[in-house]
């Protein structure tokens, strides 16, 4: 639901009930439009997100980890200066505007100060402004003094509320009655266009709940009722919106804050997942484009040298007919004994050279092109192997289902030097590298492991026992799967289950795929081969159907 004044009034009550009396222990600005406050309420520690981004604007709790930038932005430093250790006295809604007001009390040995933090939840115009005694100390988004704007947001100037809309404030019951007495047509549209602080969804819910009687009193009581039945509406497992009142088909939550946390948490996770996936895919596509260009150049050079044998033949024919040729001739036509039909071959000559020198010129060009072909062969093989490897990486990225899957692909791309190592730090500032586990399954009492990327595939094979069973899709890029046998005979149903895992995490595009299976002792990794590449023998072939 867009964060309208109707929803924000209820949110402010919950935030005030939860945070009032709490102290701000930590302030982080993880992105340009977001500030994170770690608040200790006396019972527990909560992380409150104040977001001024157009798509995620609002105030809500977040249970996930947050990465602090290496260098704190200026606004973050300002908040730390004024609000570190401050007590949250109250959280309230400013009038019936889309503005949350945090009243904060700071104290020293000599003074006690009150500062106000305004969170303006207004889509692309959202902002976070810190004031003291009505004067702006700083803001997340500022204007310059020479800009032609209605409101000046700049340190040192007086804070003014945004200009009110030309709509009726629902707090004024008489004005509400006067406006609604002229109602006609679509009630939901009329409420949205004439009454301030309502999103279209809220107006539709109010209109749907009207059962006759005084329309103004119904609208007023609906808007200012403290009754809530929070819920999150999902579609195919992806949150679509959250609501303060129950809607059909939505998942209920105990509080509006909990509904917000679930909605924004999942939304941010999906956004992060898709962003990381785009980043990795873009890096691999860039490498593919570079190697395809290199392969095209190699093939072009090879094509230019494909006539080298003809050069040798011309040199030999000239050498065999030196007695019949003379310096100054521009061409000659000689019997070609290499032609099965016994034809002749016309040869262009350099008139500045003797017949012997012309022959040596053809031999020299022949040897040069032959050397070029000999050098191009391994280059072409290496480039094709690199493209095949990159194709396997793209397959792993496209089949990724969780953030862990993508992080494992990122680890591989870092090792391949296709992207830079992401900077991660622990609480003491030291770089840490989280270990990403294999995909794990269980069937018929057997543990089954699947690699998430080529590096994990190699590690999985190295760590497996010789009698464990190894599986891989035939003719497709797929994950490596290992069944831990522990000396037992693996039933056919377990083999079929493991083959289905291979088919699922392959580039077979959802089609059935043949899957080869053999003991790990018959799986070998050639020296200096690319990650994930192995050779194997003594295998049987199963049919793998992608798991749902």
**Which tens digits make up the pLDDT trace of 187-244?**
999 999 999 999 998 999 999 999 888 999 999 999 999 999 999 998 877 888 899 9
* Residue 241: per-residue pLDDT: 87
| pLDDT higher than 70, residue 365 | yes
How far is it, in rounded angstroms, from Cα 127 to Cα 143? Answer: 11
* Residue 449: per-residue pLDDT: 96
How far is it, in rounded angstroms, from Cα 230 to Cα 247? Answer: 9
* Residue 501: per-residue pLDDT: 94
Q: Which range is least confidently modeled, 4-18, 23-37, 235-249, 478-492? A: 235-249
Chain mean pLDDT for the chain: 90
Q: Which of 356, 390, 424 is the last residue of a domain?
A: 390
- Residue 336 is assigned to a structural domain of this protein: yes
| pLDDT higher than 90, residue 247 | no
18, 130: one domain: yes
* Residue 1: per-residue pLDDT: 55
181, 218: one domain: yes
Instruction: Name which of 86, 103, 71, 5 is nearest 38 in CA terms.
Output: 86
Q: Which of 349, 367, 390 is the last residue of a domain?
A: 390
Sheet strand arrangement including 238-243? 238-243, 231-235, 251-252
* Residue 429: per-residue pLDDT: 46
| pLDDT higher than 90, residue 328 | yes
- Residue 205 is assigned to a structural domain of this protein: yes
Instruction: Name which of 60, 63, 67, 2 is nearest 31 in CA terms.
Output: 67
Instruction: Name which of 223, 199, 197 is nearest 210 in CA terms.
Output: 223
Q: Which of 390, 406, 429 is the last residue of a domain?
A: 390
pLDDT band at 408 (very low <50, low <70, confident <90, very high): confident
Out of 179-183, 419-423, 539-543, give the one with best mean pLDDT. Answer: 539-543
Spell out the residues 6+ positions from residue 472 whose beta carbon is closer than 8 angstroms to its own. 478, 480, 481, 502, 515, 516, 534, 536
Q: How many domains does the chain have?
A: 4
pLDDT band at 70 (very low <50, low <70, confident <90, very high): confident
- Residue 238 is assigned to a structural domain of this protein: no
206, 318: one domain: no
User: What dihedral angle (degrees, nearest 10) is formed by the CA atoms of 315, 316, 318, 321?
Assistant: 170
10, 107: one domain: yes
- Residue 42 is assigned to a structural domain of this protein: yes
- Residue 369 is assigned to a structural domain of this protein: yes
134, 19: one domain: yes
| pLDDT higher than 50, residue 432 | no
How far is it, in rounded angstroms, from Cα 502 to Cα 546? Answer: 8
26, 132: one domain: yes
| pLDDT higher than 70, residue 421 | yes
| pLDDT higher than 50, residue 426 | no
Range of the domain at 86: 5-139
135, 178: one domain: no
- Residue 280 is assigned to a structural domain of this protein: no
Question: Region 433-457: what's the mean pLDDT?
Answer: 88
Asked whether 169 and 220 are in contact (CB, 8 A), the reply is no
- Residue 368 is assigned to a structural domain of this protein: yes
Question: Region 77-81: what's the mean pLDDT?
Answer: 94
26, 73: one domain: yes
Tokens of 545: 């159907």
pLDDT band at 270 (very low <50, low <70, confident <90, very high): confident
* Residue 431: per-residue pLDDT: 47
pLDDT in tens, 153-178: 999 999 999 888 889 999 999 999 99
- Residue 267 is assigned to a structural domain of this protein: no
Question: Region 287-295: what's the mean pLDDT?
Answer: 94
31, 92: one domain: yes
Residue 56 vs residue 319, higher pLDDT: 319
Q: What is the CATH number of the domain that holds 96?
A: 2.30.310.10
Question: Region 487-506: what's the mean pLDDT?
Answer: 93
Question: Which residues pair with residue 252 across a beta bridge?
Answer: 231
Residue 93 vs residue 2, higher pLDDT: 93
* Residue 502: per-residue pLDDT: 93
* Residue 146: per-residue pLDDT: 67
357, 474: one domain: no
| Cα–Cα separations (whole angstroms), residue 97 to 4, 143, 228 | 8, 21, 20
| pLDDT higher than 90, residue 314 | yes
Out of 30-39, 101-110, 336-345, give the one with best mean pLDDT. Answer: 30-39
105, 172: one domain: no
* Residue 235: per-residue pLDDT: 85
* Residue 422: per-residue pLDDT: 67
* Residue 268: per-residue pLDDT: 82
Instruction: Name which of 522, 519, 520, 512 is nearest 542 in CA terms.
Output: 512
79, 196: one domain: no
Residue 228, judged by CB atoms within 10 A of its CB (0-12, 13-18, 19+), counts as buried
């Amino acid at each position: 639901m867009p964060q309208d004044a109707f929803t924000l009034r209820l949110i402010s009550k919950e935030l005030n009930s939860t945070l009032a009396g709490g102290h701000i222990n930590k302030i982080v600005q993880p992105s340009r439009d977001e500030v994170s406050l770690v608040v200790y309420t006396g019972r527990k520690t909560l992380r409150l997100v104040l977001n001024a981004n157009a798509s995620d604007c609002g105030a809500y709790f977040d249970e996930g980890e947050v990465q602090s930038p290496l260098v704190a932005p200026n606004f973050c430093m300002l908040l730390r200066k004024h609000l570190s250790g401050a007590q949250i006295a109250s959280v309230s809604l400013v009038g019936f505007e889309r503005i949350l007001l945090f009243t904060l009390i700071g104290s020293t040995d000599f003074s006690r100060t009150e500062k106000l933090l305004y969170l303006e939840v207004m889509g692309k115009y959202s902002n976070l402004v810190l004031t003291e005694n009505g004067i702006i100390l700083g803001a997340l988004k500022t204007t310059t003094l020479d800009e032609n704007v209605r409101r000046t947001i700049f340190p040192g100037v007086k804070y003014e509320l945004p200009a009110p809309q030309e709509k009726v404030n629902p707090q004024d019951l008489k004005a509400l009655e006067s406006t609604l007495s002229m109602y006609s047509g679509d009630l939901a549209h009329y409420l949205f266009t004439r009454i301030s602080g309502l999103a279209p969804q809220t107006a539709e819910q109010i209109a749907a709940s009207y059962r006759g009687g005084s329309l103004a009193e119904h609208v007023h009581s609906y808007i200012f009722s403290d009754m809530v039945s929070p819920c999150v509406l999902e579609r195919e497992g992806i949150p679509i919106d959250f609501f303060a009142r129950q809607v059909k088909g939505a998942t209920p939550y105990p509080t509006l804050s909990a509904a917000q946390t679930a909605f924004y948490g999942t939304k941010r996770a999906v956004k992060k997942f898709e962003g990381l996936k785009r980043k990795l895919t873009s890096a691999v596509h860039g490498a593919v484009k570079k190697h395809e260009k290199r392969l095209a150049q190699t093939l072009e050079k090879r094509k230019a040298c494909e006539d080298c044998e003809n050069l040798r033949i011309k040199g030999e024919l000239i050498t065999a007919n030196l007695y019949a040729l003379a310096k100054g001739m521009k061409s000659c036509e000689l019997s070609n004994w290499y032609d099965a039909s016994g034809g002749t071959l016309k040869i262009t000559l350099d008139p500045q050279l003797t017949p012997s020198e012309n022959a040596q010129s053809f031999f020299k060009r022949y040897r040069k092109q032959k050397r070029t072909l000999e050098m191009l062969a391994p280059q072409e093989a290496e480039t094709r192997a690199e493209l095949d490897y990159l194709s396997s990486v793209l397959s792993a990225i496209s089949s990724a289902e969780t953030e862990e899957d993508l992080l494992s692909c990122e680890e591989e791309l870092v090792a391949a030097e296709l992207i830079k190592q992401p900077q991660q730090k622990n609480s003491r500032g030291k770089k840490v590298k989280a270990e990403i586990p294999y995909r794990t399954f269980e069937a018929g009492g057997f543990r089954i492991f699947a690699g998430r990327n080529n590096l994990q595939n190699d590690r999985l094979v190295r760590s497996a026992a010789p009698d464990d069973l190894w599986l891989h899709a035939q003719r497709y890029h797929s994950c490596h799967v290992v069944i831990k046998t522990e000396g037992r005979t693996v039933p056919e149903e377990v083999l079929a289950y493991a083959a289905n895992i291979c088919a699922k995490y392959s580039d077979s595009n959802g089609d059935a795929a043949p899957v080869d299976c053999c003991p790990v002792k018959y799986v070998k990794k050639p020296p200096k081969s690319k990650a994930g590449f192995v050779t194997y023998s003594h295998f049987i072939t199963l049919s793998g159907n992608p798991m749902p």
